[in-house]
Homo-oligomer: A and B are copies of this chain.
Amino acid sequence: MSGAHLTDEQRLDWLRLIRSENVGPRTFRALVNQFGGASAALEALPDLARRGGRLLLKVTTRAEAEKEMAAAARLGARFVAMGEPDYPKTLQAIDTAPPLIALRGSADVLSRPCVAIVGSRNASASGLTFTERLSRQLGEAGYAVVSGLARGIDTRAHRASLDTGTVAVLAGGHDRVYPSENEPLLRAIVDGGGAVISEMPFGWEPRGRDFPRRNRIVSGLSYGVVVVEAARRSGSLITARFALEQGREVFAVPGSPLDPRAEGTNDLIRDGATLCAGVEHVTGVLEPLIASGPRLDGIEEPRHLVDAEELWDELDLPDVARTPVGPVMPEAGFIEETGEAGPGVIELLGPSPIAIDDLVRQSGLPIRTVQMTLLELEIAGRLERHGGNAVSLLAGR
């Protein structure tokens, strides 16, 4: 196995930082890049927020993080950090990889090549039958099957791959399983050598916008996503979109044009997804990718680290996300408009995205200063990051 382990102290700092207000995966990355570690970033947070125009920022305390660690331990879950050996390499490759994932069950299944199978909750009988066949065949072919534990297609996909290896990704905390009717299935996954993953805090009740957010992890874990049945504007299509943005393969199972549950999948095929009518259509595309796949292997070089936090540098991640990936961890809160952000930068910002390069050029300020100002606004909840290294001011804040 490659990578290094965080110390208990570092893991606690990582958890505190990612659980703090206005810190999502991308902000976490920017903070660690800027301050050289989670501990230093935590120390800087209140001042960053104040200079970004916000007097009160909720920074997760050591006691709160310890409490969540204890809750995780009671459920048999543990936190795995990006860059650690058990952190899935495919997930690590995405722009908004969660710095920490809470894992229940076996990490071994995550080291196998993963394929996601997703689809409608109100699936047809034939959609369910096809899902079952495909999941079993993918499992027999050595793949782990990833899904979202939802009713319908997801549930069938997990069930059919219980014996061969399956991974469920939750939209809420490990202690808030949704739908609750799938708690027995979840236990079967954990007990049967599978894995259950969440990036959300223990005690977090999943809300509507948490599901699309979760879907980026479903696709991020996987070499490819198979959409079995999907109406237009369904969550499964969001997973497919994430897969495309993450450079993963998208497969769609066709259906009659008269069946609304096939509208989404037929659209996907018209848009370039690979038509999947059998397991060979998936394995035929993925096998060569897995065999070569340098894009996902670039971070697997084994190397012993004296300071475990250096593994962050080893990951060689971009400073900011290249593409916008769904909703960021929502952190609403009171904002005071004290407006102490660095001179020049905030005046150049507006609701339309502007490239950071242009900000640097037009402000005449050093790039490090500009980035610090952006981080301040971000922590204050006033900045949004977009693709193409662009940023905009959040309207009405």
Binding site for B on A (CB under 8 A): 126-127, 129-130, 253-259, 262-263, 266-267, 269-270, 274-278, 281
Closest to A278 in B: B257
Whether B258 lies near A275 (C-beta < 8 A) is no
A275 to B275, CA, bound (A): 10
Whether B254 lies near A269 (C-beta < 8 A) is yes
* List of B residues within 8 angstroms of A126 by Cβ: 256, 258-259
Whether A130 lies near B258 (C-beta < 8 A) is yes
- Which of the residues B254, B259, B263, B266 comes within 8 Å of A257, measured between beta carbons? B254
Closest to A129 in B: B258
A133 CB to closest chain B CB (Å) equals 9
Whether A254 lies near B258 (C-beta < 8 A) is no
A262 CB to closest chain B CB (Å) equals 7
- Which of the residues B127, B259, B267, B277 comes within 8 Å of A266, measured between beta carbons? B277
Closest to A271 in B: B275
- Which of the residues B130, B269, B276, B277 comes within 8 Å of A263, measured between beta carbons? B277
Closest to A258 in B: B126
A132 CB to closest chain B CB (Å) equals 11
* List of B residues within 8 angstroms of A127 by Cβ: 256
A341 CB to closest chain B CB (Å) equals 49
Most B-side CB within 10 Å, residue of A127, A129, A270, A277: A277
Whether A257 lies near B270 (C-beta < 8 A) is no
Closest to A274 in B: B270
- Which of the residues B255, B259, B267, B275 comes within 8 Å of A270, measured between beta carbons? B275
Whether A257 lies near B269 (C-beta < 8 A) is no
> Known: A269-B269, A270-B281, A275-B270. Contact between A262 and B257, CB under 8 A?
no
